[in-house]
């Protein structure tokens, strides 16, 4: 297993959608496109992952997108260094900061 993947199996600080400034665009990327970016900030230079969101496994009902507040739990998949992984992140949409980790998939 790759050392980066192994490192990200433990909870790490993350930044959610760091390039998306508009809350409406963020909501659209989550719900309509189901494709978001999660950056693990404590790797060398940061590791940005493009996540295919699984809305059935994610929890976004606690967010108030109109006010731009709330905590969401994002679950989705991607491939990192040839390893299929699931990304799980809990993020405050007001700051877009949170914690996340990866799980290996077969």
Among the listed residues 95, 102, 89, the one whose alpha carbon sits nearest the alpha carbon of residue 14: 89
State the average pLDDT for the chain.
95
Q: pTM, whole model, 2 decimals?
A: 0.93
Q: Which helix (H) or strand (E) holds 4?
A: helix 3-7
Instruction: Spell out the domain ranges in the chain.
Output: 3-104
Tell whether domain 3-104 is in CATH 3.40.50.620: no
Supply the pLDDT for residue 106.
79
Q: Please state whether beta strands 71-80 and 97-104 pair in parallel, antiparallel, or not at all (unpaired).
A: unpaired
Q: What is the CA radius of gyration of the chain?
A: 13
105 band by pLDDT with thresholds 50, 70 and 90: very high
Q: Which helix (H) or strand (E) holds 83?
A: strand 83-92
- Taking the C-alpha atoms of residue 6 and residue 61, their distance in angstroms, rounded to an integer, is 31
């Amino acid at each position: 297993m790759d050392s980066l993947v192994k490192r990200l199996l433990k909870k790490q600080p993350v930044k959610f959608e760091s390039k998306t400034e508009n809350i409406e665009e963020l909501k659209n990327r989550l719900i309509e496109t189901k494709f978001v970016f999660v950056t693990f900030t404590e790797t060398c230079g940061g590791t940005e992952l493009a996540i295919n969101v699984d809305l059935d496994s994610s929890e976004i009902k606690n967010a108030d997108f109109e006010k731009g507040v709330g905590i969401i739990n994002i679950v989705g998949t991607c491939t990192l260094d040839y390893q299929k992984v699931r990304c799980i992140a809990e993020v405050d949409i007001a700051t877009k900061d949170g914690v996340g980790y990866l799980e290996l998939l077969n």
